[in-house]
Structure 1
Amino acid sequence: MTTAADRSRRPRRPAWAGRNYSLLTAAAFLTNGGSQAALIASAFAVLEAGGDSGDVGLVAAARTLPLVLFLLIGGAVADRLPRHRVMVAANALNCVSQGVFAVLVLAGEPRLWQMMLLTALGGTGQAFFSPAAEGMLLSSVHGEQAGRAFAVFRMAMQGAALGGAALGGALVAAVGPGWVLAADAAAFAVAGALRSFLDVSHIPPRAPGAGLLADLREGWREFAGRPWLWGIVTQFAVANAVIGAADAVYGPLVARDHLGGAGPWGLALAFFGAGTVGGALLMTRWKPRRLLLAGTLCVFPMALPAAALAVPAPVGVLCAVMFTAGATVEVFGVSWMTALHQEIPEEKLSRVSAYDWFGSVALLPVATSLAGPAESAFGRTAALWGCAALVVVVTAAVLCVPDVRRLRRRTTTVVQGAAGSADAESPVGGLG
């Protein structure tokens, strides 16, 4: 018989890990791990169907293009409709697209246009899912432990990505890409079912709006009216683009020519993933008072991988650099989520998140497409040093924004309203 004393000895969830938070974290763990494995599987599916590296790039671009095109609309929709319904619908679309992709691969030789179309549907689902998911997560956490909650969530995400990439490569080799894609479809189905149980009763009903365009304009005003917000999004538009080009284009080439091939490069990427988990673990304990100042200072080490590839540094040094970059970027990531949670009104979270996501991915296709011409024009070493320099320059520039240096973590209860966040008592932090 279970006694009251036995129940009292059972481990309890922390106060900040409520029902919604737990469901969101479990579902994100499933889909992030599955998606990382599916990225590897889709590339090998293209190659096994007779495609080349150019075809792999086309399939990857087919996912990115609708992601960029529909992100802002997805954010407006997520602030207009119940967010959990948007998330479940997006998961259903991803489940169907990956399931059909898996069937085509298992049945024979899928055609390139079919793989591009199905990948584009997955990117469309992601465009609607991401702003809704971020808005839902930010609204599910309250109180002084928000930073710790975001750190644990990101640690679960990064751990899933690291494990998914490793397991995905092994499974593709063992059972083939089709079954890995099928497993990813199943992960989306389970995650969608979990997200259907989210409780949105705490979220105020949405007032009837004037239309989708009006919602987009209102989101833009919220975004453009905060210099720290658009300044950092602009910074990461450039930083993500050049880092993505260095990792996706130059990294494999440097590994092939100087480091011994794909194995050492894969090891370096694994160290980056391990660094992100370590950084998230650090942020479960550390609460920097000046959120964005601490986070932005931790962006500077993101220039180190490109610099190490430019030298090129030995594999051991590159792995250490990648671990450091992964850890420090997570310090920024947790600080950034905490700032959004603290400063952005709940009813505008998804639209602001959409502008954030849009800035993060908009220039990435441009940078990767220009990486080859830049190498031809300036040489690979100079192009890599240029990537590192751009990260340093844009990060130094955003530190010139006063709000980035001054925004502080609030320690009193925050009440979010239509006019923005305000402390229920006299503010401890804030701007100025």
Structure 2
Amino acid sequence: MSPIRDDLSLLRERRFAALFAARTLSMLGLAFAPVALAFGVLGLPGADAGTLSLVVAAEAIPHVLGLLLGGVVADRYPRRFVMFAGECLSLVAWLGIGTMLLVGWAPIPMVCAFAVLTGLAGAVVWPVLSGIIPEVAPAGHLQPANALLAVGANVARIGGLIAAGAVVVLVGPGWALVGAAVIYAAAATFAWRIGSTPRPGREGGTSVVGELREGWVEFSSREWLWVVVAQFALLVLAWQGAHTVLGPVVAEAELGGAGAWSAILTGEAVGMLVGVVIALRIRPRRPILLGVVLTSLTALPYLLLGVGAPLPLIVLGGFVMGLGMDTFTVLWQTTMQREVPAEALSRVASYDAFGSMLFGPVGVLLAGPAAVHFGAHRALLGCAALILLSSLLALLSRDVRTLRAPERITPVPEGEFTPPVDPVV
């Protein structure tokens, strides 16, 4: 069997195929629902951009704050069950908002309450994903497993973004959100079909604080891990400001508006697909070193926007950024799954996500004033410089430069991977 066919054979394994379907559908809902939510909220009587910001904040804040608790839950209970519960939370939330829009009664406090549920759902599902992959894929197939999941997620993301606008126009945001709920119902069904998975942690006797402390010890004891998370705290700060505020401002003023910005985002999405295909094939000896170098490519489109480059060149920059970032993501996830004990993996992943995203809102808040005082072009150049600086600082770490991947393990023949299961759940 050829290497590519050997990797693709994972999709014939029932448990991995169920995880692949659940993750792909979940990402489809994640791309689809926010578009419908935005137009649904803005269509309410008296609603404006401030109203939408309030609803988005009601989702974003519990998502970030709930990540650490989500890691504890995912390390304490069978991960299949935790993933199923997270998808069900999204199902309830989007069905609730969609139903309120359809009946014409959608008070903002109620919309915000359901938005909190979507944030909590994301805080549960994100940490569990890192931990469940080694439970359904052989050790020698971790990197292709992560890459295949990323391919499905990126295809779903592109499809969701394209379909959401059309569905909102044709049937309205209320029905679109009910459709998103149906998508999450399908994701929950496939999550349940993963089947029994091991109970990763101890059954009791340790407090949540104690388990968070244990997860912190695992996280902080690996220099390569916390250094790259610190790098991403700076990178995401700059990226959020450039991507959500400064880039659209320049696109609107100089490049033709939303169509130009959509072209840049499409270039990024195509690059992400190519990146995971590359990650499916390469086996670098120093994956974190290569990954950090690739993250520096995130600066390229913002550098090009800052210097006033023509649109096709900026689209190409977005493609390169997407390629580098998703190749890094696969290498990063695979390395964590190899290096971190399975019983602490979801908690470590939650510290990773929490630390990486912590300063993102700060970047958004600073971007507007920076554009006013320094100009959008200079602010974009500052964001690009901060991204490059964060990568260079990470490369000062010896662990980042020298951590090696193990020799490739001989693939397990199809059907022979039988991880231990928990007969209780």
The TM-score normalised by the length of structure 2 is 0.91
**Cα distance, 1:188 vs. partner?**
1.1
| AA in 1 matched with 2:101 | V
Counterpart-to-counterpart distance in 2, 1:15 and 1:34: 24
Aligned partner letter, 2:52: V
- Write the deviation string for residues 238-264 of structure 1: whole angstroms up to 9, x where unpaired: 112211211111121111100011111
Q: Which amino acid aligns with 1:91?
A: E
Q: Is the 8 A contact 1:86 1:129 kept in 2?
A: yes
2:233 and 2:358 in contact (8 A); partners too: yes
| Equivalence for 1:395 | 391
- Given candidates 59, 79, 84, the residue that maps to 2:80 is 84
Contact 1:296 1:395 in 2 (8 A): yes
4+ residue stretches of structure 1 with deviation over 6 A?
A: none
Amino acid in structure 2 at the alignment position of 1:237: A
Q: How does 1:316-355 map to 2 (within 5 A)?
A: 316-355=312-351
Q: Is the 8 A contact 1:17 1:149 kept in 2?
A: no
Moved more, 332-341 or 355-364: 355-364
Which segment is superposed worse, 21-30 or 211-220? 21-30
Amino acid at match of 1:88: F
Listed one character per residue, the Cα deviations across residues 66-108 of structure 1 (whole Å, up to 9, x for unaligned) are 0111110110111111111111112111111110100111112
Return 234-243 or 196-205, whichever deviates more. Answer: 196-205
Match for 1:40 among 35, 38, 46? 35
Aligned partner of 2:293 in structure 1 is 297
Map of 1:418 onto structure 2: none
User: Is 1:244 aligned to residue 217 of structure 2?
Assistant: no
**1:222 to 2:218 alignment:** yes
AA at the equivalent of 1:185:
A
Residue 423 of structure 2 aligns with which residue? none
User: 2: CA distance between counterparts of 1:201 and 1:90?
Assistant: 16
- TM (norm. structure 1) is 0.89
Q: Which runs of 5+ in 1 are unaligned?
A: 1-10, 415-432
Provide the rounded CA distance (Å) in 1 between the counterparts of 2:32 and 2:10.
Answer: 33
Contact persistence 2:272–2:325 (CA under 8 A): yes
**Residue aligning to 1:63:** 59
Per the TM alignment, residue 285 of structure 1 is displaced from its structure 2 partner at its CA by 1.4
Q: Is the 8 A contact 1:291 1:335 kept in 2?
A: yes
SS in 2 for 1:189: helix
In 2, Cα distance between the equivalents of 1:70 and 1:34? 20
Task: Choose from 163, 187, 190 the match for 1:194.
Answer: 190
Deviation of the 1:205 alpha carbon:
6.4
Deviations 1:144-197 (A, max 9, x none): 332122111101101110111011111112211111111111111111111112
Maintained 8 Å contact 2:77/2:201: no
Q: Does 1:75 align with 2:71?
A: yes
Matched letter for residue 240 of structure 1: V
| 1:219-272 Cα deviation digits (max 9, x unpaired) | 000001111001111111111221121111112111110001111111110111
More helix by share: 2
State the secondary structure of the residue aligned to 1:144. helix
- Mapped partners of 2:309, 2:217: distance in 1: 45
SS at match of 2:57: helix
What residue number does 2:418 align with? none
Structure-2 residue corresponding to 1:420: none
Deviations, residues 309-333 of structure 1 (Å, cap 9, x unaligned): 2122221111111011001111111
Task: Please tell me the root mean square deviation across aligned C-alpha atoms, in Å.
Answer: 1.9
CA contact (8 A) 2:275 2:323 kept: yes
1:361 partnered with 2:357: yes
- State the partner residue of 1:286: 282
Deviation at 1:16, TM superposition (A): 7.6
- 2:281 is paired with a residue whose SS is coil
Aligned twin of 2:3? none
| Larger RCO, structure (CA 8 Å, separation 6 or more) | 2
Q: Check if 1:175 corresponds to 2:171.
A: yes
Query: Alpha-carbon deviation of 1:198?
Result: 2.1
Letter in 2 for 1:258: E
Query: In 2, Cα distance between the equivalents of 1:226 and 1:359?
Result: 15
- 1:53 Cα offset (Å): 1.9
| CA deviation vs aligned residue, 1:373-405 (integer Å, no higher than 9, x gap) | 222232222211111011000100001111111
Rounded Cα–Cα distance in structure 1 between residues aligned with 2:287 and 2:181: 37
- Is residue 2:249 matched to residue 1:253? yes
Segment of structure 1 superposing worse, 182-191 or 200-209: 200-209
Gap regions ≥5 residues in structure 2: 1-5, 411-425
Using the TM superposition, give the Cα deviation of residue 18 of structure 1 relative to its aligned residue in structure 2, in angstroms. 2.9
